[in-house]
Amino acid sequence: MHFEVHGLQGKDVRTVILSSGLGGAGSYWAEQMEVLCPHFRVVTYDHRGTGRTGGSVPENGGISAMADDVMEIARALDLSRFDFVGHALGGLIGLDLALRFPSVLDRLVVINGWSKVSPHSERCFDTRITLLKAAGVPAFVKAQPIFLYPARWMSENAARLAADEAHGIVHFQGETNVLRRIAALRAFDVDERLGEIGAQTLVIATEDDILVPYTRSLRLAEGLPHARLVLTASGGHAVNVTEAQSFNRALTDFLLSDASQEAAQ
């Protein structure tokens, strides 16, 4: 596993592991580094099958195999406990960690995630798979921002999106890996087990997310015993990029808040 360690160092420093969505790149969290690094040891990583980790996504491992990869990083860093922030697929990894390795997980943040996939997201996945298989990698990569960002933000950041598109085509993770990662997203279902998760959890969602209905986050907040919900009107699926300032404020407020206050909520 390729991972990078930023921010504070030392034996007693709190560690936050950041996990991205379907794209899998650790660089996704660039907008969060400036606010997190002064307070934490911050770990970013490229998911298996993506970026500098590379390799193949296990055919039948699902989200649990991806959570096992996180535990591999934790062992490499000799971490007994850590906080975990996950976007979409990364959030599902966090939920799996919370269920299978509760003793190592301190605080959990799930951004535009779900306990069980919605029919609307299934339709979006079907569309993306059809694009990939019928039109090829360039069409798949070009369509990706439509599912991530609001139209206004895309219009204002056309040059950035063009650069991201060119990079995404050159460094595409491969059709097999994408299909296996989407299959893992679709198969994930912990809806009946949310009550077993004891971690203090921040659920962040946006009402204009075109890929994941915000009602999936409402379900998480309802089912998790120790959850705080932050629901915003705008920001799209990648709200930590498009509305970084307000997102970072909510994130740091949660991670730096007093644990006893969190438990009382």
Mean local confidence (pLDDT), 212-239: 98
Q: What is the pTM of this model?
A: 0.96
Got the DSSP string for 61-106?
Answer: -HHHHHHHHHHHHHHHTT-S-EEEEEETHHHHHHHHHHHH-TTTEE
**Lowest mean per-residue pLDDT among 56-60, 125-129, 213-217:** 56-60
Cα separation, 181 vs 178, in Å, equals: 5
- In total, the chain counts a number of residues equal to 265
- Domain range for 73 is 3-264
Residues 116, 189: Cα–Cα separation, whole Å: 5
Q: Which of 56-60, 193-197, 238-242 has the lowest mean pLDDT?
A: 56-60
pLDDT > 50? residue 90: yes
How many domains would you assign to the chain? 1
**Domain harbouring 171, CATH code:** 3.40.50.1820
- The one-letter amino acid code at 62 reads G
* 258 has a pLDDT exceeding 90: no
d(CA 123, CA 129): 10
Q: In the chain, pLDDT over 90 holds for what percent of residues?
A: 95
The token pair at 125 is 């996945």
